[in-house]
Each structure stands twice: as C-alpha cells, then as structure tokens.
Amino acid sequence: AQSVTQLDSHVSVSEGTPVLLRCNYSSSYSPSLFWYVQHPNKGLQLLLKYTSAATLVKGINGFEAEFKKSETSFHLTKPSAHMSDAAEYFCVVSLTGTASKLTFGTGTRLQVTL
Amino acid sequence: DVKVTQSSRYLVKRTGEKVFLECVQDMDHENMFWYRQDPGLGLRLIYFSYDVKMKEKGDIPEGYSVSREKKERFSLILESASTNQTSMYLCASSLVSGGANVLTFGAGSRLTVL
C-alpha cells in the first residue's frame, strides 16, 4: 500500500523569498516520487522525479526536492519565488519500475505576492 | 513533445445523458489513464489501460466505462450522467522512464451535469 500527504493545502510567499512545499509518503517498497505543477485551467506538468538515484533531484524552473528515507519526506523547494510560480503543486508516489497506478496528494496551492 | 489532446474543454450535460470524453496521444505510449480532479481530493484514478482493448479499474470506476480500440485513443464513457459526476476530467499517457512511470497530461475536460 502507498499513500502521500501534502502537509499544507495553501502556502503564501512573497516574490523573491524561498518556497517550501512539504510532502510525506508511505510505501511498502522502494518508491518513485514526483512533483507535478498545474497552472490555472491547464493540465499537470512534471516538475521533477526521484527513482532511487541521487537523493537531491533538480527539476525545471529552479525547483528541487530531496528524498529523505529516514523522514519519509520529499519536500519541494525553490530559493526565490517568482510570480509565475503561482499554481497548484501535487506530490505523487508510485512503485519503482512498474506502470502501475500512481497515488496523488491532495495538492498545495502556492500564492506568490508582490 | 508528447501531446495529449482532450477533445472537449467544457461540456454541459443533463442528468441521464450519455457522455463521451475523448483523449488522443501522439507518442505511441502504451499506458493511458483517466483521472477525476475535485477540490481538496487531488486526482483520483477512474480507469487505466496498458494496451489496446485492455483496461483495469482504478479507485473510483463506478458509473464509468472506458474504451481503447486503438493505441492512441482512450475514451471515457458516462452511461447515465449524474450531478455527482460534475468534475474536471484529466487524461494522461505514460512512458516508463528510468524505472519511473512518467505521465503526460491533457489540458482537462470540465464537465457540468445539470
């Protein structure tokens, strides 16, 4: 069984300040972990993925995430927020090496203010 | 770039109508998925297909059926639409890359059932 918990449903930051979106997961086996972003009225786009290689994963648009097995976490960070980062972010877990279904978190809405 | 196209962005239907949601992908992906997205619930898997004429139920298949007659096309069917099926529907296709099942999403179809 697998599950994912996004700890904040809504995060608000000022432009130019760091972003932290938190995600904890539960998986019986070696997981693959993903972050997807959804801008308003758009589909989801892959930001980054972890598949048991390097624990620090770099993605698009300056985002990165660190896999911490001891804490069962996969938090998403960015050093400096931009207005265009305002969107909804989804943390996702699946079993590595399979085409089985993925389990999505409930999403974190990121607001970026001037 | 892989493209996943959902034929209708917005639909309004009446209770009891039969509804077809069409999805086409252009990169020869084996796997295709239909998700439903509701606020606060994230994405929930309705059905997925790993090959032509093959399908498996996801987490919430009740009230839905699917059809995959050709590799590039995956249709979601609501036999008799009900108001609780008002939602955003997202189609995705996937490639297993580096051991991870990486999804590419369409832009979504927002269905309102009156």
What is the per-residue pLDDT for A1? 73
Residues of chain B with C-beta less than 8 angstroms from the C-beta of A57: none
Which of B1, B37, B43 is the best substitution to test chain A (most A C-beta atoms within 10 A)? B43
For residues B96 and A11, the model is more confident at A11
In this prediction, residues B7-12 reach a mean pLDDT of 92
What is the per-residue pLDDT for A94? 85
> Do A96 and B48 count as a contact with CB atoms less than 8 A apart?
no
Nearest Cα of chain A lies from the Cα of B81 at a distance, in angstroms, of 23
Query: Of A9, A99, A105, which is closest to B96 when you measure between CB atoms?
Result: A99
* Category of A9 on φ-ψ map: left (φ > 0), alpha (ψ -120 to 50) or beta: alpha
Separation of alpha carbons B66 and A107, rounded Å = 26
Please count the other Cβ atoms lying within 10 Å of the Cβ belonging to residue A75. 18
- For A72-76, A102-106, A107-111, which range has the lowest pLDDT when averaged over its residues? A102-106
Listed residue (A105, A57, A54) closest to A77, CA to CA: A57
For residue A17, what pLDDT band results from cuts at 50, 70 and 90? very high
Which of A5, A44, A50 is the best substitution to test chain B (most B C-beta atoms within 10 A)? A44
The residue type found at B25 is: Q
For residue B14, what pLDDT band results from cuts at 50, 70 and 90? very high
Nearest Cα of chain A lies from the Cα of B4 at a distance, in angstroms, of 10
Query: Residue A84: phi, psi to the nearest 5?
Result: -70, -10
Summarised one tens digit per residue, pLDDT across range A55-83 is: 899 999 999 999 999 999 999 999 999 99
Separation of alpha carbons A13 and A41, rounded Å = 22
Summarised one tens digit per residue, pLDDT across range B41-80 is: 889 999 999 889 889 998 899 999 999 999 999 999 999 9
The residue type found at A15 is: E
Residues of chain B with C-beta less than 8 angstroms from the C-beta of A43: 4, 90, 92, 105-108
Separation of alpha carbons B7 and B113, rounded Å = 18
Nearest Cα of chain A lies from the Cα of B43 at a distance, in angstroms, of 6
B61 touches A at CB < 8 Å: no
Separation of alpha carbons B99 and A87, rounded Å = 28
What is the per-residue pLDDT for B61? 95
For residue A2, what pLDDT band results from cuts at 50, 70 and 90? confident
Q: Is the dihedral of CA A103, B4, A41, B19 positive or negative?
A: negative
Separation of alpha carbons B35 and B50, rounded Å = 15
For residue B84, what pLDDT band results from cuts at 50, 70 and 90? very high
> Do B94 and A106 count as a contact with CB atoms less than 8 A apart?
no
What is the per-residue pLDDT for B82? 97
What is the per-residue pLDDT for B101? 77
Would you say A87 and A38 are in contact if contact means Cβ atoms under 8 Å apart? yes
For residue A99, what pLDDT band results from cuts at 50, 70 and 90? low
Query: Of B50, B58, B107, which is closest to A43 when you measure between CB atoms?
Result: B107
The residue type found at A81 is: A
Residue pointed to by tokens 């997961």: A25
The residue type found at B21 is: L
Residue B32 in this model has a pLDDT that exceeds 80: yes
> Do B42 and A49 count as a contact with CB atoms less than 8 A apart?
no
What is the per-residue pLDDT for B2? 59
